[in-house]
């Protein structure tokens, strides 16, 4: 009888005699989850906010609220400059509308934070109006001007909240300007 060939796994190779590799898995606590849930990290002290630091932050925010109307004046001036460019260079209106839209986007996010929801509302309307499907006519440029003028009044008059009667009159005036200069459908 013939001998069967020897199997390779039956032969011991030097590599086969090495010790198996051990792998360790480390599971760390989700400290971010604990912090956001207000649980803190075990063994690292209290989870309360320092009252002095909180008072300083509130004072800084209050100062920013008082300065907000002055702050938005610079943004409104930028809007007005882009509006002037849209008037002067009708062939580049798309570019000016894009810039106006970016500024309006920033403004709509800030208004509510500083208790100027009319700024948010007018900036949101302007953002939507100056969008990619906006018309490029002189009438559209006039509607942009109406938005800018409305925001300027809110800042100059410091119309917080809904602005009272003045704020409602501004909203109505803007709506009338949009209706007046928008293309007639029908």
pLDDT of residue 32: 75
Task: Identify the CA nearest to 107 among candidates 82, 90, 132.
Answer: 82
CA distance 122 to 183: 20
Task: Please count the residues of the chain.
Answer: 186
> How many C-beta atoms lie closer than 10 Å to residue 162's C-beta?
13
pLDDT profile of the chain (186 residues), mean per 10:
54 65 79 66 59 87 84 94 95 94 92 90 94 87 95 93 92 90 60
Looking at residue 90, what DSSP letter applies?
G
For CA atoms 170, 174, 179, 181, give the dihedral sign: positive
Task: Identify the CA nearest to 121 among candidates 131, 130, 108.
Answer: 108
Per-residue pLDDT reduced to its tens digit, 63-76? 888 888 888 999 99
pLDDT of residue 127: 95
Per-residue pLDDT reduced to its tens digit, 165-175? 999 999 999 99
> How many C-beta atoms lie closer than 10 Å to residue 72's C-beta?
23
pLDDT of residue 132: 86
Residue with tokens 């969008």: 131
Task: Identify the CA nearest to 84 among candidates 153, 141, 152, 151.
Answer: 141
Overall pTM > 0.75: no
């Amino acid at each position: 009888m013939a001998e069967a060939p020897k199997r390779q796994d039956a032969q011991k190779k030097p590599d086969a005699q090495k010790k198996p590799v051990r792998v360790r898995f480390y599971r760390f606590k989700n400290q971010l989850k604990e912090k956001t849930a207000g649980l803190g990290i075990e063994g690292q002290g209290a989870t309360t906010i320092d009252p002095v630091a909180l008072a300083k932050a509130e004072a800084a925010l209050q100062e920013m609220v008082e300065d907000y109307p002055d702050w938005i004046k610079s943004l409104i001036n930028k809007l007005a400059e882009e509006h002037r460019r849209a008037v002067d260079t009708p062939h580049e209106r798309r570019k000016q509308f894009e810039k106006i839209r970016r500024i309006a986007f920033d403004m709509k996010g800030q208004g509510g934070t500083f208790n100027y929801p009319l700024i948010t509302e007018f900036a949101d309307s302007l953002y939507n109006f100056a969008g990619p499907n906006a018309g490029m006519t002189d009438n559209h440029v006039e509607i942009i001007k109406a938005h800018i003028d409305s925001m300027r009044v809110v800042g100059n008059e410091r119309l917080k909240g809904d602005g009272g009667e003045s704020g409602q009159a501004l909203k109505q005036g803007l709506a009338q300007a949009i209706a007046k200069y928008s293309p007639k459908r029908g």
